[in-house]
Chains A and B, each alone.
Chain A
Amino acid sequence: MKSLAELAAIREKMQNKVNIREGANSTRVVVGMATCGIAAGARPVLNAFVEEISKAGLNEKVTVTQTGCIGICQYEPVVEIFEEGKDKVTYVKLTAEKAAEIVEKHLKGGKVVDEYTIGSVQ
């Protein structure tokens, strides 16, 4: 270790990896991972969220977790996004590509992607 900068670099790199242990953040992306969700392809959606959020540098703000069956199995994969002080947003029939788009537009840009929400299919 020759300088403080070197130490700071390691710290920066690692913090991203361990901050998951500080518990849930204010914004939560909850992926339905019951049998219905998994059968409809929730796994690639979950992985896409984890990856894209990390890429976008949102790890410290957004937590990705799973939940069981929400009850609308015909619309799986279902993902709900909870943000503090806002109504929850329910996205349905997601794919990995749509997940990437949601991270970009909703989580990063702050704009709900209306065409993927439950309102658009009902």
Chain B
Amino acid sequence: MTSTAMQQLYQQIILDHAKARHGAPAEGLPPLEAAGRVDPAAAGLRVTESHQVNTTCGDEVTVRIGLRAADESGTSAGESAGDAIGDAIGDEVGDAVIEEFAWAGDGCSISMASASVLHDTVRGESVATARALLDTYREMLRSRGTIEPDEEVLGDAAAFAGVSRYPARVKCAMLAWVAFEAALLAE
């Protein structure tokens, strides 16, 4: 009795991402200080993370991002680099690029798939672009099925449009995205 409603909610893209989990290291996230580089600040990356829990079901996701200030790319070194990015992020981060994106989590197919899709969607993008995508995605999920997503803009994230008809599952689809948003704001 596989209903059409279930197939619309659990699109194949979602089931595939839930299994593939792009951006989630099989062994979990390394300790923060070892995140990709020995000293992220020296490499010119500002590394932050956020851990979010859905208290309804206990699902959890940690999103870790590494930002590079636009005019620092490639060549920066020394402690001043980290400070410069910190300043830049404090003021206007729009040009900074999400150079690294990794996550770890445990949860339902919708929360895991949305984290995987988020990785594919924002990695390599500027903070300004990612924020705009986040707003579009959130607006779609809160629409209770009234917004037809623009696949050109949202890519695979458009597959979550069906979730908006299930208000109880919107939190699942937002979990990683909220973690990402918090990581952008984290000190």
Do A and B form a real pair? no
B→A interface (CB under 8 Å): none
